[in-house]
Amino acid sequence: MKALGPILAVVAAIITLWYAAAVPMNIQEVLTQAERGGAVVDPEGAMTRRDVSRFALVLRNTEHLSESWSMERARLPAPHQVVKELWVSTWDEEVNGRRGIVKSGSLSNRSLIYHGSITLGATIIGFLIGSGLGILLAVGIVHSKTMDMSVMPWAIVSQTIPIVALAPMIIVVLYSIGVEGLLPKAVISAYLSFFPVVVGMVKGLRSPDAMQTDLLRTYGASKPQALWKLRLPASVPYLFASLKIGIAASLVGAIVGELPVQRGGLGARMLGGSYYGQTEQLWAALFFAAALAAILVWLIGWIERRTLRRMGVTP
């Protein structure tokens, strides 16, 4: 494990930077609280301090900084506060909480596991729809010049629209025809994840060289035979590269789809935390989502390795 040292160094650097940043970020609230507790702060009065730069405040009040990393509703909570919140809102809530799975038999609606599972459901369904659609579109694009020219530009345009602007419209439109709940979020997920799959699969399906396609011509192979025996197997490595991007995009889509609805999910948790100044909750939800994405991408990588080994492509 020669790589372990550098990896730990990077992690340590990030954590150090985070702790350091928390001091100027929280200085206003720290000083206000200290002043309320009877300490003498320079300058006096929260209103006056508002016009003084954060760094100047830090330098002029070094003796009052002890609270910087333990503020409630800190502007930037310290890493250990976020870790604690992660623990409290996952294990602690489910195992010890009144509404947790141990005592009530169902996941607590205050736990990230509950919200994460809601997001995960929408992510998986959106990913399946998106990648399925992407593969079908790619097959069409490779086989038909007309589809290549008519679908590809729209697929590209679709990705230039900011999803946060589009997501509420999708939800409203689907709601008006009676579709709500999981499906609108899955649609947004699919919308984000089909594109990398289309691009990767088109490239993969076109990856066999002229010699390979000539060989099939000498056998008088039909187009479906060429697709099944040559193009699809040849595209597998490309497909997996796209699926990794696609599943991460799916998760983002599901989270964005939860923002305007506020009926559970990591997106709802994040927006709730942001509304009510529950920054620890916000950050914990963020990290939970990141971990979920990492697991999903790793899972695709694992399936990829197994598939390629089974195909015999790699030792």
Partner 1 sequence: MTQAPVISAAHLDLTFQTNDGPVHALRDVSLDIAKGEFVSFIGPSGCGKTTFLRCIAGLEEPTGGTLTVNGMTPDQARRSRAYGYVFQAAGLYPWRTIGGNVRLPLEIMRFSKEEQAERVKRTLELVDLAGFEKKFPWQLSGGMQQRASIARALAFDADILLMDEPFGALDEIVRDHLNEELLKLWDRTGKTIGFVTHSIPEAVYLSTKIVVMSPRPGRITDVIESTLPRERPLDIRDSAEFIAIAHRVRDGLRAGHIDD
We find the least distance from the C-beta atom of residue 134 to partner 1, in angstroms, to be 21
Choice between 163 and 232, CB closer to partner 1 = 232
List phi, psi (to 5°) of 287. -65, -35
DSSP state of 62: G
Which tokens hold the place of 24?
């100027």
Choice between 151 and 215, CB closer to partner 1 = 215
Choice between 150 and 222, CB closer to partner 1 = 222
DSSP state of 160: T
Binding site for partner 1 (CB under 8 A): 211-212, 214-221, 225, 229-230, 233, 236, 311-313, 315
We find the least distance from the C-beta atom of residue 226 to partner 1, in angstroms, to be 9
Alpha carbons 31 and 223: distance in angstroms, whole number: 73
Q: Locate tokens 């506020």: which residue? A: 262
We find the least distance from the C-beta atom of residue 140 to partner 1, in angstroms, to be 23
Choice between 38 and 312, CB closer to partner 1 = 312
Contact 270, 279 (CB under 8 A): no
Choice between 4 and 211, CB closer to partner 1 = 211
We find the least distance from the C-beta atom of residue 240 to partner 1, in angstroms, to be 14
Choice between 105 and 315, CB closer to partner 1 = 315
Which tokens hold the place of 181?
């709940």
Nearest partner of 62 among 38, 41, 48, judged by Cα: 41
Largest CA distance in the chain: 91
We find the least distance from the C-beta atom of residue 228 to partner 1, in angstroms, to be 10
Three-state DSSP class for residue 140? helix
Give the number of other Cβ atoms within 10 Å of residue 232's Cβ. 16
We find the least distance from the C-beta atom of residue 202 to partner 1, in angstroms, to be 20
